[in-house]
Amino acid sequence: MKKSKAFALLPIGVFVVFYLSLGIAFEYIMKIPMGFYNVPVVVAFLVALLVAVLQTRGVTLDKKFEIMGNGIGDKNIITMLIIFMLAGIFVGVVGRDSAESVAYFMLSVTPPRLTVVVLFLISCFVSTAMGTSVGTITLITPIAVAISEGSGFSLPLCVGTVVGGAMFGDNLSFISDTTIAACNGQGCQMKDKFRTNFAVVLPAAIVTLGIILALSFRYDVTEIANTDYELLQIIPYVLVLISGIVGINVFITLLIGIVSGSLIMLLSGGITFPDLLSNMGTGASGMFETSMVAILVAALCALIKHNGGFDALLKGIRKVFKGKKSGQLGIGLLVGLMDIATANNTVAIVMANPIASEMAKDFDISPRKTASILDTFSCIFQGILPYGAQILVALSVVHTLGQEMSAFDVISNLFYPMILLVSSLVFIFVIPEKKSVK
């Protein structure tokens, strides 16, 4: 057995310093728009991986590659990569028009006073169906800006509502990369993680709706003009959502969405077959960086574990956190710190997965609960980061549409992530997890 060595964690420190320092420099010193996302995360992980390779002493280079290969070849990593590809293809098939149809349909049947309430529900549904918070924000923020301009509701309230709703789906969706990463990293079924998660997020969503409704009565609102939509294009999203909830295998769920979406788009004349294939390829390639991160992190973690880094980290964690409830909070803070360092909740989960698995064994925490905590806390932190993709994309869209707003204007209206944190703590320290098969 290798001894625990804290120095073996150096590659993680190198990654954090490399990524975070360049991101801050680009964003706040050089004033580059979306500065953090101009830092190639793949390159940052390659630098960290090089450090880990140099740190691994006493074995040949071939043996180091063997250690990394064993880490990458784990069944959960392979499963995760295939699901990433299928999820990307599904989003490529259904496209943006389908999500916009969902939004405009719901707004068309909404009383003006409840517009922002429905805007939150729309964001929740679209992000759950699409599996991407950034994609949802990109699609729905222009609608939020139009609602603000046409109804009298404040712009920060409308945009903050969209970002909050987008994080709801990012946390729950069966095709979200965070859900895929958390479930496969902990070896649990998505339906089990969904049920555990849903109990936590539902109270937070209800309270958020109550707050938005109360704030809505502070404004003098006017009627909003209707926009055309295509109801047929909503069907693939609904099928994926229902299939996932009832427990159909995630591969079959995604294939149902891809096949139904393809047939609907082709038969309705919305796209030609060559363009459909091209969109499939574009959707799959859109998952390239996420897939490469999963591969590099698996290799990096294999070397760190071989060198005793995780044993050292777990030893330190055991000194701070005592008992099952405290251990759950420790897992949440672990992935939160990873997210602060990377500004990417999927990367944070992938990095935290192996350590969280060991913590779960130590504190007797079920895989579904561990996956739920990882996904939920990563989304809480990611949703409120002023330099996170979600807020930066929202601000970019607002600026493109001729409006001005700061990150802190949005953060002050991010009710859902804040309330979700409270709900999560209640479910950790007050409401015990029901016994079930792990």
Quote the DSSP letter at residue 26. Answer: I
pLDDT, tens digit, for every residue of 162-201? 999 999 988 888 878 888 889 988 888 888 888 889 999 9
Is there a contact between 217 and 388 (Cβ–Cβ < 8 Å)?
no
b/e map 114-140, b = 16+ CB within 10 Å: bbbbbbbbbbbbbbbbbbbbbbbbbbb
Q: Say whether pLDDT at 225 is over 70.
A: no
Give the pLDDT mean for 70-75: 81
Residue entry with tokens 């079924």: 189
Secondary structure element (H or E) that encloses residue 103, with its range: helix 75-108
Neighbours of 185 (CB within 10 A): 27
Both tokens of residue 319?
């000194």
pLDDT, tens digit, for every residue of 319-336? 787 788 888 999 998 888
Give the pLDDT mean for 84-91: 78
Q: Say whether pLDDT at 315 is over 60.
A: yes
pLDDT at position 437, please? Answer: 43
Q: How far apart are CA 34 and CA 36, in angstroms?
A: 6
pLDDT at position 103, please? Answer: 65
First to last CA, the chain: 28
Residues 6 or more apart from 15 whose CB is under 8 A from it?
44, 45, 47, 48, 341, 342
Give the pLDDT mean for 29-45: 78
Is there a contact between 376 and 125 (Cβ–Cβ < 8 Å)?
no
pLDDT at position 308, please? Answer: 84
pLDDT at position 376, please? Answer: 94
- Within 152-287, residue ranges assigned H as helices are 155-172, 177-186, 190-216, 235-246, 250-267, 273-285
Q: Say whether pLDDT at 111 is over 60.
A: yes
Q: Say whether pLDDT at 2 is over 60.
A: no
Q: Say whether pLDDT at 227 is over 80.
A: no
pLDDT band at 435 (very low <50, low <70, confident <90, very high): low
Closest CA to 355 of 315, 325, 318, 310: 310
Q: What is the pTM of this model?
A: 0.71
pLDDT, tens digit, for every residue of 363-420? 889 999 999 999 999 999 988 887 677 887 788 778 767 777 877 888 889 999 999 9
